[in-house]
Amino acid sequence: MNPTLLLGLPGGPEWLIILLIVLLLFGGKKLPGLMKGLGKGIKEFKDAKNDTSKELEEKDEN
């Protein structure tokens, strides 16, 4: 059996439990800063992915 099939993404109840744990660990005042940092990290990852894709496409065209 494929091990990736056993580990799925969390569903609705699991996300609520995760958010509750994060809120308890970091508190309400630090949570917006954490989410802002997470958003910036995701944006930088997407930008790097897009830049790499463009470079590969340009390399294939030449």
SS3 of residue 35 by DSSP: helix
44, amino acid identity: E
Helices (H), the chain: 3-6, 12-61
Looking at per-residue confidence, does 7 or 14 come out higher? 14
pLDDT in tens, 9-45: 778 889 899 888 988 888 888 888 888 999 999 999 9
Rounded CA separation 61/56 (Å):
9
Supply the pTM of this predicted model.
0.56
Q: Which residue has the tokens 């995701």?
A: 42
Tokens of 56: 């590969």
